[in-house]
A and B are shown apart, each in its own frame.
Chain A
Amino acid sequence: DAGVIQSPRHEVTEMGQEVTLRCKPISGHDYLFWYRQTMMRGLELLIYFNNNVPIDDSGMPEDRFSAKMPNASFSTLKIQPSEPRDSAVYFCASSLTGWTSFPDTQYFGPGTRLTVL
């Protein structure tokens, strides 16, 4: 398996532009997570899905952020309009349901480094 795939790996955009980050989870995994990592705030969970349904989006910073999972093999995280403070590394991760019915070990993608000028 190729692991979790994210694209693009790097994105540089100007303030006010729309940004779309993409993620392909590991085949068969039923959980998908979006994280943001910055020096100031560390690793933050933005949203996660179970069987393509958003379960908890309380970490989404504001209405400019939206995430979708139209099918089991694809998810997007969109920022519109983007701002310089959105600059960060965005990670996607996936996992299987564990024996306690919660997600088990998470497998992370390589991340997308977003720079908003």
Chain B
Amino acid sequence: AQSVAQPEDQVNVAEGNPLTVKCTYSVSGNPYLFWYVQYPNRGLQFLLKYITGDNLVKGSYGFEAEFNKSQTSFHLKKPSALVSDSALYFCAVRDGQLIFGTGTRLQVFP
């Protein structure tokens, strides 16, 4: 069965610093990977996806993710964090429907 793992419950970063939110996957065949973000009291919002092609995927709000097949990872990154990026981030893999990770809470401090 397909699955994703988010090893960090929370990530803290200072505003202006680069941020990384980690995700590793376990799939049979080609992975279809997604990142979603959830702001307080809101539903999940799509950030970006990897289906095929370039390993570096660019998404909304300046986020990008790097697909690494040898490390089975799909980490979310942003060069310069904003306080407004503080939210809950979910990695997901498609297996028919989406299988979500447990989420990582990103806290950006001013």
Contacts and interface: CB of A to CB of B under 8 A. Distances in A.
A109 B94 CA distance: 20
Interface in B70-91: 90
Interface residues of B, number: 18
Interface in B44-88: 44-46, 49
Contact of B98 (A4, A45, A111): A45
Nearest to A4: B43
A61 interface: no
Interface residues of A, number: 19
Given A42-B100, A42-B102, A42-B103, A107 B94 contact: no
30 contacts: A4-B43, A42-B102, A42-B103, A43-B44, A43-B90, A43-B103, A45-B97, A56-B96, A91-B43, A93-B43, A93-B44, A102-B32, A102-B94, A103-B94, A103-B97, A103-B98, A105-B34, A105-B46, A105-B49, A106-B36, A106-B44, A106-B46, A107-B46, A108-B43, A108-B44, A108-B45, A110-B41, A110-B42, A110-B43, A111-B43
Nearest to B47: A105
A48 B102 CA distance: 20
B37 to A, nearest CB: 11
A56 B97 contact: yes
Q: Which of B43, B44, B94, B103 has the most CB of A within 10 A?
A: B43
